[in-house]
Structure formats: structure tokens, C-alpha cells
Structure 1
Amino acid sequence: MTLQTIKKSDNSKVLLGKSLAELTAWVEEHGQPAYRGKQLYQWLYQKGARSLLDISVFPKKWREEMADYPLGRSTIHYRSVAADATRKYLLRLGDGLIIEAVGIPTSKRLTVCVSSQVGCPMDCDFCATGKGGFTRNLKAYEIVDQVLTVQEDFQQRVSNVVFMGMGEPMANIDEVVAAVKSLNQDVGIGARSLTVSTVGIPGKIQQLAQHQLQIVLAVSLHASNQALREQLIPSAKKYTLDNLLDECRDYVQVTGRRVTFEYVLLAGVNDLSENARELVQCLKGFQAHVNLIPYNPISEVDYQRPDKRRIQAFTDILEEANIAVSVRYSRGLEADAACGQLRASKI
């Protein structure tokens, strides 16, 4: 098999995403001493090498011989910058497909919102990503690459990663778990600074719990009752709100970790006082935190963002019930980089 064939067809040969032990075995397999495994590891994860040619500590002749061996890095197809300094990236993968990643800077941290799939199969009614359909799952290295690309572009170390970009992470759980472990162990991002978000797929939250990761699990409810959830999230017809919450309780029991619940506020749809009171009943017994996300507009539907008075009234009801709650106004709105706005196009 030629290097060119490997590059196009065999994702297992990509170097990014491999552990130090795996990279050490790889360099030895290709005629280099074991200590070069650590050098390769450092150049991949700390220095962001995009080609073996970049790794100046390797012998020049060997670099040239191995120049076409795939590291697994994407290229920036398009980048936009919002007024709040949030950067949205369209990244071209090895097979030519496009995904989005978002870099969100603050004074103290740099958060990267990563995609886990090309497109999304969940088709939530208020979200732009699902409107474009689903193409394929991402490999773990393609997820890790997003973080390294944003880190390189900002010239700043990434402190937090949220799996809230394109796709449903639990529909790609094996690769997502592998990416989480690599981001933690190889890139050096603390497990509790990694957040995996899901609208819920039967059995997948329990499967995630078995890995005993110290990550943050964020569950997207977006509705306070089953009928409303089915209206907003088509998959809810096969996975009821009660079943989802039961699985979340099991997750807490197995991991000892608190669950964060995400709730997009849609004016006149799910932001009424009665919805807030229903949500309180749903979350009884949880040591939970609720993130309220005022809706970010997309062109395909005519939902509206509630006004601040309605948002505050909803918040007050949760607080009176002693539920920890925060309102998250998404960054990057002007660049279509906010929550629910991601799609694989410039438009």
C-alpha cells in the first residue's frame, strides 16, 4: 500500500490521536529509535505539526521519505470573526467535507466548540445544523484537530472544550470518548474543563457513565413536557422525557457527577411561567444546574428570542425552587457562530 493510498483510505494510519506508546511503536516500526516517539508526540500535541517535514529534530532524509504520511490535520477553508472576537472556522477534512469549529475567547480562557459529526441526524426544529442533513461521524483525530487548529490560530492555549458544535456526540460515542481521552491525556486539558452535550439517545448516557470520565455532561432538554419536546426534537418520540431523566439519574449515581441541563428559550413556545414550573417538577431530586439559552435566530424558522423580562421571570421561578440556574447569551451571534447556528457553509 502506498502512502498516497493510506492517506486517502485508512484512518487508522493517521498519527494524530495516537498515544505516546502508539507513536513510539510507530517510529520504531519505521526504522527510528524509540526516543523519537516522544519527539513526535510533543510536535503533534504541543507544537501543532501539520507534516512530518515540520519536525526539524527528525533526520532530514527520513522526513522527506515520510513526507506524505498523514498526520490527520485539516485546513482552514474559511474564517470569520465576530465583534466580540469569537472566531468561526470552516475546516476542510481529508476527504474534502467541511465542518465548523468555534473559538470563544475571554480575558481568562479560550473555549473551543467542536463538532462531532458532519451535519446532524437529530433535526431539532430550531437548529441550523440539522437542516443540512447528516453525512458521517467524525474520527477522534478529526475532533482533536479542531482544538489544535483553534489553539494555533489564536496563539493561545485552549482551556475548555465543549462538544456543542455540529452533530450529536452520543450518536458517535466511541470516537467522542476517544477524543475526550486524547484531549485530556495528550493535549493536556483538564477533564472537568471538557463538556459533552446531548439531546439524548437511549442507552448512550448509561454507556458514557461506564467510562467514569470526570467531564461535564450537558443534557439538552429544551422542553418541560413530552408533547412540547416532540414538537421541538423529533427523536423525542422514541425517547421520552421521563426515560431521559431516569437515565440522567443513573448517570449521577454511577459517576457522582452533576448533570447540566440546557434549555433554549423560544418566545411564546417554551418560556412561559407554566413551563418553568413544569421544569422544576422534572428536576426534582437532581443536584443539577440549568443553562438557559435565549434563542439564536436562523433563517429557516421564525422562532423569536424572548425579551429580558420573560427570561428573568423564568429564571426567578427556578431560583425560588433552589435550582442553580444561569442565562447564557451565546457568543459569536453576528458571525453565525452561536449555539444552534452552525452549518457547513459560509452563508
Structure 2
Amino acid sequence: MQAGRIVRGEGENVFSSVHGGATPATSAGGLAADRRFSAKRQDYLQQQPQVGALPHLVAGGLAGVVSKTCTAPLARLTILFQVQGMHSDSATLSKASLFKEASRILREEGFRAFWKGNLVTIVHRLPYSAISFYSYDRYKNLLHLLPGLDGHTQYVNADVCVRLLSGGLAGMTAASITYPLDLVRTRLAVQTNYMYYQGIGHTLHTIFRDEGLRGMYKGLGASLLGVGPNIAVGFCVYESLISNWKLHRPHDSTLLVSLACGSVSGIVSSTATFPLDLVRRRKQLEGAGGRALIYKTGVWGTFRHIFRSEGFRGLYRGILPEYYKVVPSIGITFMTYETLKSYLSQIL
């Protein structure tokens, strides 16, 4: 396993990549190699575009919109599989494969139904992605002001810690602000033949009328528990991969590197947090359309209920379409973000 460390020598910080532990590079040849690696790292960081708040917000928001629109059919399939087992009428999906369910949607609801709820997804994703990307950089700057995380620490692991914390805080900030729209999106996406909710405004009004203000935030606890680690792991893995890639292969296409690193980060983060996302979806549908409550406990009670009634596999119901979705989704998000950020930094 590799561990990174900063070694002070002759008044400068030298970044050394050490195998098997935190063993300092003491030989002259090793120190020279470390200095060359450090210089490459500094050159890479200096070459990154310095962008302000507006390019961050615009690039982040548009990246989310492009990604979600491209992968909307898979996203809807994921949600439909996640809510299996909640009600008796879900038995029609209990043995459905991904292909069979896609065929059912096409046959019964039409091709446009694959994008059912995508308008509210766009309305939600614009502020969500913009806030996520913008607040991630702001949180990083704030955390770098803290002792031990200020960039002058001896251990590069501190930088990983900053990325994880920044990503988690950014995700929770964005989720809290935009949560009612995420709830609306879920309720619209699970509707098949019977349309209880008619559009964004009607859904918001109906939820508030039937379930009150608290109903607008059903599942927020599970969302915060899941989105924090999800975005934290996603950003951390992405930045770690892309920075190391660019250090060793600086001439590779930025678009392809962003796509590859973003896809890997999406798979890792989704696998780690998928059970919490499933709990969130089911809590969001509690009481929808006047139906009786199923999970009358909190997040962990719902988690235990699903595990007892559906087993471990039940916690990962819908993971296959999620994998199919997350590779292009996360990859397109980061690729679009990097492209727009670079372009906007030149014109704004």
C-alpha cells in the first residue's frame, strides 16, 4: 500500500511516494526523485484554471443537467426496482428483469415515460449540482485554514481528509437546500398507469396538503446519511485519481481522463451508499397517494425492516441499473464540469 508524506529538506517541502509505510526517503537519489515528483505536482496545480464563483455555479449546474438527462431512463428503472416490496401491487415487478421492466414501460407508457420526472430532476439538479461543486471548493478553502490541514502538514493524508470532509459537507448542504424537489421527483417517477400527482406544482401542493411541512422532508435523514459519504467518496476518489493520472500522464486527453476517473469514483461511491439510498426512496414514498404507512420507525428501523423481510439482497435491489447509470452519469458530470469550467474561466 502506498502512503504519501511531505519531507522537509533544505527549506522546501518534498512530496515522496513511499511503499510499505511512512519510511523517509533518505538517499540522495531518492530525494532527487522526490523533488522532481514534487515539482511536477506543483506545475500541475499551477496549471489548473483559477475560476470564480459564477463559473463554478454555472459549470456545476449544467454538468448535472446534462448527466441526468442522458441517464434518466436508467435512473427511473433504478427507482422502480428500489421500491419493490413496499406495496402489494409491486408484486408485478418482483420477478421482472431489467429488460422486462424496460419493455413494460415502453409498451404501457410509451417512450417518453422513460423521462418521467426528468423536468423536476433538471429543476432540482441545477441548484443541487451548482451548490455541490461551489460549496465543495469553499469548504476545502475553509478546512485548509485549520491547523493540521493547512497544506503545511507533514502528511499528505491530510489532503485526503480535507477532500472527504469537503465532499461530505458539500453534499449535505446541497441535499438540505433542494430536498423537496428530490421528493417530488421520486413520487413522479414511480407513477405508472395511475397518475395521482400532476406535475411539480401539484405534487408540492398535494404533499403539503396531505402530509404537512414534515412530509416535504420525508427521508431527509437517510438522504443526509447517504449523500454525505457518497459525494465525499466520489470527490475524493475522483480528485485522487485524476491528480495522479495527470502527474504521470500529463498529455492524455482531459476529457477522457475526467470520464474514466469520474466513472470509477461513481461506482465506488454508489456501492458504498446504495442501501441508504434505497431507504431514502422508500421513506420518500411513505403515505404517498393516501396509502398506509409501512415503515413507522426512523432510518435504522426501516433499514432493519427491509433486511428482515427481504434479506441482504433487498438492500441492493436496483443496483444493476444503478451501475449501468452511474458510469456514464458520473463520468459525463465530471467531464462536462471540467470542460465548462475551463471554458468559462476564459470568458468570465
Shorter-chain TM range is under 0.3
Structure 1 or 2: more strand by fraction: 1
Structure 1 or 2: more helix by fraction: 2
Q: Structure 2 length as normaliser, TM-score?
A: 0.21
Q: Which is higher, the Rg of structure 1 or of structure 2?
A: 2
Q: Structure 1 length as normaliser, TM-score?
A: 0.21
